[in-house]
Amino acid sequence: MRVVFVHGACVRDGSWWWHRTAELLQERGVLSATSALPSCGETGLPEDAAAVRQVGPGLPEDVAAVRQVLLDTDEPTVVVAHSYGGIVVSEAAEGVGSVRHLLLVSSYLPEVGQSLSEFGDGGPAPFLDVDPGTGTFGVRPELLVDTFLHDCDPEDQAQAADHLARQSVRVIGEPVKAAAWQRVPSTYLVCAQDRGTPPHLQREYARRAGDVVELDAGHHPFLSRAAAVRDLVLSL
């Protein structure tokens, strides 16, 4: 069994975001892999205005990148997707026989044709900075810790800003073409202290999942409650 981690929006270096949980899993003999998301600039493409807005990578490129990782081996796999990562995985995991379970962390289970823009409470997120000129959006650095990392170790809080990324706004409105969670067993992890995705919205999204687990944690439980996330993954 292996685990594939898919990070959320506006960050890069997935191996850093998942490192605390990945290390605990490795101690139990479970190896993991992370996938880069091209829309977050992780493929080395330029982030200037023309490149991002006109020909820059979006959801289809993210799907292709994650799908390639899933197809790297036929070893039975648990996919752990965080936040926006659930949008990507919904399509990327479709028809991949090695994927045995989807774990969605403060995330989404979109129907075919739905996009990221259809989730939320209808208002603009105050912690995001959208730049129409460059066609990108990102987390406001001054709100990063209080919104997303308030329950994390100070060391992780200090390092997290170095792993933020501007992301193409294309991903907000592009619809998914498949809904793997309809055919693959799924578990939704509700983060009850999340200040980024309100818990009441998570519980609404979680209704589509096969199972629901609730954890007293913020938006990144794989950093703040790594042992609990490890145990949940192992139980799957």
- pTM above threshold 0.85: yes
Phi-psi label, residue 52: left if phi above 0, alpha if psi -120 to 50, beta otherwise: alpha
Q: What is the pLDDT of residue 143?
A: 97
All domains in the chain, ordered by first residue: 2-235 (3.40.50.1820)
Amino acid 19 reads: H
pLDDT of residue 121: 76
Smallest CA-to-CA distance from 88 within 48, 115, 117 is with 115
Residues in the chain predicted with pLDDT less than 50, given as ranges, are 46, 48-53
**Token pair for 134:** 């460059």
In terms of Cα–Cα distance, which of 98, 97, 120, 96 is closest to 107?
120
pLDDT digits (tens, 9 = 90+) for 31-82: 999 999 999 999 865 354 444 445 579 999 999 999 999 999 999 999 999 9
DSSP letter for each residue of 28-63 = TT-EEEEE--GGGTTTS---SHHIIIII---HHHHH
